[in-house]
């Protein structure tokens, strides 16, 4: 990476680190002038008279610690507003409640397993129709939109096969149709590498459990918007549905934002080293990493992002036994679900994170028994490469590739 940013990518968003540290954190808002926002655990707040509160009345409706987090994330997303939720799926639930029975959702066919499960097994039973479409092809998205379509849901890069979607192209298609919202799940990229709202999205959402918090110790969702009316509707739902994060979790995520820039730079650095190592290894069938020139949408991601996160997927040669042996022999990488923390993780999507996706759909998407997903952390590069090499050796101890 060059001093100004990653070569060939968009330049870094101006003042990002300064905003991550200071936006919404003004000491003057506290009577004590605390530099670090305090954790406001109170569930209720004294009123000067009936209905005369000082901005807060009940912690589900609004909380000072949550406000600090929401203000900071809004600035980092280049947004006017942000709302925090108890999890990424809680954010998904609240967004879906903008719709009514009979409406249709178009969802990218390759998405997080929990999103797929919620749409298929919950939302559809509540009277919503959900259609899964390959949104990497804008013409397929255009063909799928009907008068009943009210929401288009995309991830980019996708989970787990890391397809990259042209957000601006999708926004151009969606906004030719009245009252259709474009939602971008920005979990993999974080606010540091991608700003969907600036590319035409109506809603940017995250599982903040991942990179935005970055320490694998908080479960949370975030939603950023610019439209006043959309914010008011989502704010009403946040209070009415009640899936809000605790003040302590808000404090933790707010703290995580302070190192987001330096963490994401190192994730990119380490992931690029890992991807290059795997791509040159004869025991690996194929590597998928948008930061590599071999990725089919490498030029697209350079046009709409400032860099790449630590997510890599690859196909190991052989069969399920080889994949399982590789995963069980890792020592620096931990075999576990989730992603985006400072620690390196590895998982088997077909058995773990995407097991709820119907088998025929997994096969069509390429989520096979030999697909492995890595979340490359912040450890020393040489230790990560040595770990991968020894685990590959163990997987092929009795075979020559």
Q: How far apart are CA 116 and CA 9, in angstroms?
A: 31
Task: For residue 334, count other CB atoms closer than 10 A to its CB.
Answer: 16
Please tell me what DSSP assigns to residue 279.
H
Given phi > 0 = left and psi -120 to 50 = alpha, else beta, which region is 11?
beta
Q: Is the separation of the CB atoms in 221 and 87 below 8 Å?
A: yes
Q: How far apart are CA 142 and CA 158, in angstroms?
A: 19
Catalytic residues: 60, 112, 185, 210
Q: Is the separation of the CB atoms in 13 and 227 below 8 Å?
A: no
**Closest Cα partner for 250 from 52, 40, 99, 98?**
40
Helices (H), 223-290: 228-241, 247-257, 260-279
What 3-state class would DSSP assign to 326? helix
Backbone angles phi, psi at 220, to 5 degrees: -160, 155
Structure tokens at 92: 């998904």
Q: How far apart are CA 212 and CA 205, in angstroms?
A: 11
**Closest Cα partner for 109 from 132, 77, 143, 142?**
132
Q: How far apart are CA 380 and CA 363, in angstroms?
A: 35
Helix axes 381-395, 260-279, angle to 10 degrees: 40
Element (H, E) at 39: none
Q: How far apart are CA 401 and CA 284, in angstroms?
A: 9
Task: For residue 398, count other CB atoms closer than 10 A to its CB.
Answer: 6
What 3-state class would DSSP assign to 281? coil
């Amino acid at each position: 990476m060059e001093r100004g940013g990653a070569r060939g990518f968009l330049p870094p968003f101006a003042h990002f680190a300064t905003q991550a540290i200071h936006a919404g954190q003004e000491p003057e808002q506290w009577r004590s002038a605390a530099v670090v926002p305090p954790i406001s655990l109170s569930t209720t707040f004294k009123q000067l008279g009936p209905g005369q509160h000082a901005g807060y009345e009940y912690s589900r409706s609004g909380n000072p610690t949550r406000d600090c987090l929401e203000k900071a994330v809004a600035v980092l997303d280049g947004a006017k507003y942000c709302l925090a939720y108890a999890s990424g799926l809680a954010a998904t639930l609240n967004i879906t409640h903008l719709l009514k029975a009979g409406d249709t959702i178009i969802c990218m066919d390759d998405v997080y397993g929990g999103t797929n499960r919620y749409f298929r097994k919950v939302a559809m039973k509540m009277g919503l129709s959900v259609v899964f479409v390959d949104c990497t092809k804008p013409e397929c998205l255009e063909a799928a939109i009907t008068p009943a379509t009210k929401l288009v849901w995309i991830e980019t890069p996708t989970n787990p096969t890391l397809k990259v979607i042209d957000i601006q192209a999708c926004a151009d298609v969606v906004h030719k149709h009245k009252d259709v919202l474009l939602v971008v799940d920005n979990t993999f990229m974080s606010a540091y590498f991608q700003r969907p709202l600036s590319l035409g999205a109506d809603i940017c959402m995250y599982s903040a459990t991942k990179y935005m918090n970055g320490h694998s110790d908080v479960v949370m969702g975030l939603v950023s918007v610019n439209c006043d009316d959309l914010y008011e509707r989502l704010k009403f739902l946040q209070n009415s549905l009640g899936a809000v994060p605790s003040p302590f979790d808000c404090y933790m995520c707010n703290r995580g934002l302070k190192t987001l820039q330096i963490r994401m730079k190192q994730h990119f650095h380490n992931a690029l080293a890992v991807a290059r190592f795997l791509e040159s290894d004869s025991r690996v069938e194929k590597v998928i990493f948008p930061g590599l020139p071999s990725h089919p949408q490498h030029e697209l991601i350079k046009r709409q992002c400032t860099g790449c996160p630590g997510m890599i997927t690859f196909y190991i040669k052989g069969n399920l036994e080889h994949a399982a042996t590789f995963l069980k022999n890792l020592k620096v990488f931990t075999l576990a679900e989730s992603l985006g923390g400072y620690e390196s993780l590895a998982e088997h999507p077909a058995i773990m994170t995407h097991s709820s996706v119907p088998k025929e759909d997994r096969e069509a998407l390429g989520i096979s028994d030999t697909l492995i997903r890595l979340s490359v952390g912040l450890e020393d590069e040489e230790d990560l490469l040595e770990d991968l090499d020894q685990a590959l050796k163990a997987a092929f101890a009795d075979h020559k590739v």
